[in-house]
Amino acid sequence: MNRKYDLILFDLDGTVFDTAETILNSLKATIENAGLRKLTQEEVDTFIGPPIIDSLHRYYPELSDEDIDSLTKKYRKYYLEHELLKAKPFKNIPEVITTLKENGYKVALATYKLMKCVTPLFEHYDMTKYFDTLRGSINEKGLTKTDIMRLAIEDCKITDYDRVCMIGDTEHDLRGAINLGVAFIGVNYGAGFKGLTDEEKNYKKCLGYVDDAIEILDLV
């Protein structure tokens, strides 16, 4: 490979791991147990990607901050105990990551997901060894996607952001890339890109969108 970048950042949900079913199962169980209004399927689907606390505030504005915090903790407990390790890597993702490492790239994770979820999932699939750093949220409120990406870049001691490429499946990943001025590749097999502005649609450092993870290797 003709290496164009020094560091490849990956999102987790919808990019490296197919977690949609596990997340939605946990969400539905939590809402049902709390006796809250049942969400439509269209509403449920929007929970994939952004921090869950933001989505809960959006659909249950009548709940206080304390209620939302309590609901989020119950969701995370259910997810950790019943669903986390049911997620599986997307097709060709392991091959892509090992190929990148074999060709001298640094590889890092930048995700909204809490580290207490990230670590056991990556250890379960023996994938930690392929990543130079794993960066996720630290608490229920967490950091912005831009913050998390920046921390991952700093972990890898990369100072030239022109040598960094972010790979993700939602507008949050794209906006983080724009905020930091790094290259971006979108994957079409994840949650999807919603409500993009003209600036985001025409981001000059967007290398393209792929339908299969293996296509990433042709772009970096």
Domains of the chain, residue spans = 7-18+88-219, 20-85
Report the predicted TM-score, pTM, of the whole model to 2 decimal places: 0.91
Q: Provide the pLDDT for residue 62.
A: 96
Tell me the pLDDT tens digit for each residue of 8-65.
999 999 999 999 999 999 999 999 999 999 999 889 988 876 778 889 999 999 999 9
For the chain, the average pLDDT equals 94
What is the CATH superfamily name and number for domain 20-85?
Answer: Putative phosphatase; domain 2 (1.10.150.240)
Distance of CA 89 to the CA centre of its chain: 13
- Tokens of residue 162, six digits: 């022109």
Measure the CA–CA gap between 49 and 122, rounded to whole angstroms: 19
| Phi/psi of residue 45, nearest 5 degrees | -60, -25
Q: What stretches in the chain show pLDDT beneath 50?
A: none
Rounded Cα–Cα distance for residues 176 and 73 (Å): 26
Residue with tokens 């906006």: 175
What does the alpha-carbon distance between residue 114 and residue 118 come to, in Å, rounded to a whole number? 6
Domain 7-18+88-219 has CATH 3.40.50.1000: yes
